Amino acid sequence: MKRGLALLLLAGWLAPAAEAQMPRPAPDIEFAPVTGGSGTMRLSQFRGKVVALEFLLTTCPGCKHSGKILAQLQREYGPRGFQVIGLAVDPGAASRIPVFAAETGALFPIAVYSDASARNFLQVPMMLRMAYPQLAFIDRKGNLREHLRAEDPRMAPAAEEANIRKIVEQLLAENDAPKKGPSRSKK
């Protein structure tokens, strides 16, 4: 009985930690792409665009599947202000990123990143298991608006593309909507 109560209390303590507050300002991270870019880049450089960050493992089949979807969406929605960035967290990723990019068709920047930094960005405590990929969607104002985890039902292979596309289209539409206010006619 005591053990069950302790587990219930622990689950109650961990549940709020697992669900970070949304929306919230996205931290301004720095990364150096191995492919798809050069030099050091900052997330803030992409303010004004809708950004999808894929935290990934270069050998993960689910990450490759998501990478293919994101590469296609980058081609489709890039002209409307959509930008994908890949952040590989696995040890030795630098040498495998070019292979990942070739297998997924990713022309977007992909950089080496640490698991601890990914957890910090996503506000996932170290004591919780974190499966990959992890997708974070940032609006044009720099706010983290959506976080899809590998174990999220919306990431099931049959539904993943439709769900990602829906998020991207919603965030892009926020800027595409006509401005409200009094209309002025020229005389």
pLDDT by residue (tens digit) across 67-107?
999 999 999 999 999 999 999 999 999 999 999 999 999 99
Query: What angle, rounded to 10 degrees, do the helices at 157-176 and 61-77 form?
Result: 30
Q: Say what the pTM is.
A: 0.84
Structural domain contains residue 84: yes
Contact at 8 Å (CB) between 113 and 43? no
Domain assignment of residue 62, yes or no:
yes
Q: What is the total count of domains within the chain?
A: 1
Is the residue at 15 inside a domain? no
Domain that holds residue 154: 21-176
Residue 16 lies in a domain: no
**Tell me, what DSSP letter sits at residue 80?**
G
Single out the residue of 76, 73, 63, 47 nearest to residue 164, CA to CA. Answer: 73
CATH code of 78's domain: 3.40.30.10
pLDDT tens digit string along 45-54? 999 999 999 9
Residue 33 in any domain: the answer is yes
In a domain, residue 187? The reply is no
The answer to whether position 184 is within a domain reads: no
